[in-house]
Structure 1
């Protein structure tokens, strides 16, 4: 008799307590291998493919796509054993018929074999690894569907217990969608993504394709229905003399009031996933941190010239070009070495300021999933080229939704380049529990007094929001002034390299 093992949503790490089911990778009746990804979930930190520690036949799934599950809730059940292929139709509906149910998930199954199944097929078919949401290292096997004809003979033995579950003849192929936002948008409007032709590379379905399909459905629903028959209006034919004289009305005739258009329905957007995590963190920052902001305009002409010189030196063999963000990040690490107060956090319980030795530099990145802050680890030990390469790697991972929770946490200082949105200034909110954030506006030509004469220069506004508990305005002003000096005269930075 096959054993039915229950796989619970595992602890995905970083203190996460729930996850949203984005896409099931298997269906009931599929044969899965040990450590094969079975579901794609979205947490407040990242998109994660969750592997199953059992090999066998999927007998049940818990939760539809788009629903949230707490850590420790059942995710799916798997029938394990030599008879699993024959009894797949029974295991999901009658696990008590000689089956042993085991669980793996948050706080359970750390030995991989569950509870009470230390020998036999269960032990042979489980990976035995503690899951944290990233797989346990075994190669992923191609899933296959159990055909009805393969189940016919074994099921006949159990015919009195239950009828075998119907199994589709074919497994639908994967949908060419990368963005979870596109999937969510299609779900909200009941669109079948398999019916859409993608306009992206290799038929990739983009957000514009889904929005176009939604508009088409809306237009079809709102199109007026043609009248089934013409309305006949009786024609009044009579001599003018036969009509009674028209008496003036005591009050002017009021036209019929136009019917008010139906007001659009109120849209409610759940604060969950990345948006919910950002909302909680920003609210906590405003609630706990007494922040203040100072800003300064700086002439970035020399910095832009230095960047051009760096990127033109050595020709194509010199490697990737150095970005402005990478240069600003390198300037920040030099400034934090001079003003370590801003690379710290506050321990409220101990009433202590904790200065941190390493600079883990976060940078704000806008993605389809919302605002995320990837972290460049040990930025104080990197040069501009190394920081730029890491920023490029993390940015690409953010765009594809593949950032891990570890890459989104542990920052000690944040750099926010809101100039990409075409704005000059802002008062950024500190990324709790950090102590400061540097904001950078757009770099634009402006009239500027240079060497005693009016000239057109490349000007940028820099703003620093800081925790007033860790330092006073003099320290914050000194930090910002040093950053501005390095922007205006990049040679100042050479003295600290």
Structure 2
């Protein structure tokens, strides 16, 4: 339909062929600009472009560019594409729209640097140089452009990365499901502290030197955990979101992470709070052997209320454990190594361990979690503290 005549001085509508004047010498030429020396030359340029393209479809980089031009009244035949072989890019249409909205153009107009976007692809990819180099863009093939940005057309669109696929099933699949559920449902937080374990190691050596069954370090740490849970029962609990209740548990069923050839398993020591160091060592030994031989029963692997993770056996100092759903906390223990430490006001080499506690923030706040971890550290540093609860 015929367009209404614009009033004098009004901005020229998009698609009329009006475009910026020639830039100053030495500046890059604007993208998609038609160079009007005068009205007659502009008309000749338009006629020449139309004659060159003929009556066929105008080459554009994507249907989105054609739609952008149609919705804003831009005649694509009047644009000089800056892409390969005159291909009209999205940048060309956008520049024509900016030029039309500018209204009266200054004779010495300057061009701002081209925005940092991939050419015609609509993704924020930096473009080298302070301004857009039209000549370089014309020299770059469309295949080169799509090879840089994944999914930018051609065979690259929807391509699936190649590699070795390992099915998530068996023990690995069960671990993946449980850890993913823990991350989704539990708002966990972690706190940690370094502790001087020199006296704990000396106490263990003294116990084993006295004869009888050997006491494992894991058993001593488990005994410390049960004593700490008696003082801070909030961490021996679970959350029932359906009833919106925190369920504090009376019994401590202590799980411990064990790495096997079949994957990570968490056997559970039943009623750990009723066992002494010898009883805990014996049960840890039994469950560890069953894990190694693959003879753990479902009852051995379920029902835990708190987990102890001794990742120090892998030679690492610290970690942020993932809570074993539906429990509320997990204590992580790093390796025990000699480190400089201030002991009784003097610098000495001591056996130092890092302890970390991951806890469900729904069951307690940081004060409770910090109190639990500090009590564990005190017992590690001074095992005699446990005598108050034995």
Residue 182 (structure 2) pairs with residue 285 (structure 1):
yes
Aligned match for 2:288, one of 372, 395, 407: 395
CA distance in 1, matches of 2:170, 2:282: 28
Q: CA deviation at 1:266?
A: 2.1
3-state SS of paired residue (1:428):
coil
Q: Which whole-Å CA distance do the structure 1 matches of 2:249 and 2:273 have between them?
A: 12
Q: Which residue of 1 aligns with 2:200?
A: 303
- 1:276-425 aligned within 5 A: 276-313=173-210, 315=211, 318=212, 320-425=213-318
Aligned-partner Cα distance in 1 for 2:368–2:260 = 34
SS of corresponding position for 1:476: helix
1:174-219 Cα deviation digits (max 9, x unpaired)? xxxxxxxxxxxxxxxxxxxxxxxxxxxxxxxxxxxxxxxxxxxxxx
Q: Which residue of 2 aligns with 1:493?
A: 386
| 5+ long unaligned stretches in structure 1 | 1-264
What CA distance in whole angstroms lies between the structure 1 residues aligned with 2:168 and 2:255?
A: 23
2-side partners of 1:482 and 1:266: how far apart? 48
Is 1:269 matched with 2:166? yes
What is the aligned partner in structure 1 of residue 347 from structure 2? 454
Matches within 5 A, 1:225-244: none
- Which residue number corresponds to residue 428 of structure 1? 321
Cα deviation, 1:145-182, whole Å, max 9, x if unaligned, reads xxxxxxxxxxxxxxxxxxxxxxxxxxxxxxxxxxxxxx
Query: CA RMSD for the aligned pairs?
Result: 1.0
**In structure 1, what is the Cα distance between the partners aligned to 2:164 and 2:286?**
36
Query: SS of the counterpart of 1:493?
Result: helix
Measured in 2, the distance between the counterparts of 1:356 and 1:347 equals 12
Q: Distance in 2 between matches of 1:300 and 1:385?
A: 20
CA–CA distance in structure 1, aligned partners of residues 246 and 276 of structure 2: 28
CA distance in 1: counterparts of 2:241 and 2:365, whole angstroms:
18
Q: Distance in 2 between matches of 1:442 and 1:410?
A: 28
Q: How far 1:392 sits from its partner (Å)?
A: 0.4
Partner secondary structure for residue 223 of structure 2: helix
The structure where strand makes up a greater share of residues is 1
Residue 379 of structure 2 corresponds to residue 482 of structure 1: no
Q: CA deviation at 1:267?
A: 1.3
Three-state SS of the structure 2 residue aligned to 1:277 is helix
* Aligned with 1:473 (options 361, 366, 389): 366
Q: How far 1:333 sits from its partner (Å)?
A: 0.2
Q: CA deviation at 1:420?
A: 0.2
Q: Which has the higher helix share?
A: 2
Structure 2 portions without partners, runs of 5+: 1-161
Q: Quote the offset at 1:378 in angstroms.
A: 0.2
Q: In the TM superposition, what are the counterparts of 1:153-232 in structure 2 within 5 Å?
A: none
Q: Deviations over 1:10-48 (max 9, x none)?
A: xxxxxxxxxxxxxxxxxxxxxxxxxxxxxxxxxxxxxxx
Distance 1:431 1:423 in 2: 20
Partners of 2:295 and 2:165 lie apart in 1 by 27
Any idea what SS the aligned residue of 1:459 has? strand
Return the alpha-carbon distance in structure 2 between the equivalents of residues 384 and 268 of structure 1: 45
TM-score (norm 2): 0.58
Q: Deviations over 1:410-450 (max 9, x none)?
A: 00000000000000000000000000000000000000000
Q: What are the superposed Cα offsets for residues 110-152 of structure 1, whole Å, 9 maximum, x if unpaired?
A: xxxxxxxxxxxxxxxxxxxxxxxxxxxxxxxxxxxxxxxxxxx
* Residue of 415, 434, 443 corresponding to 2:336: 443
In 2, Cα distance between the equivalents of 1:398 and 1:288? 28
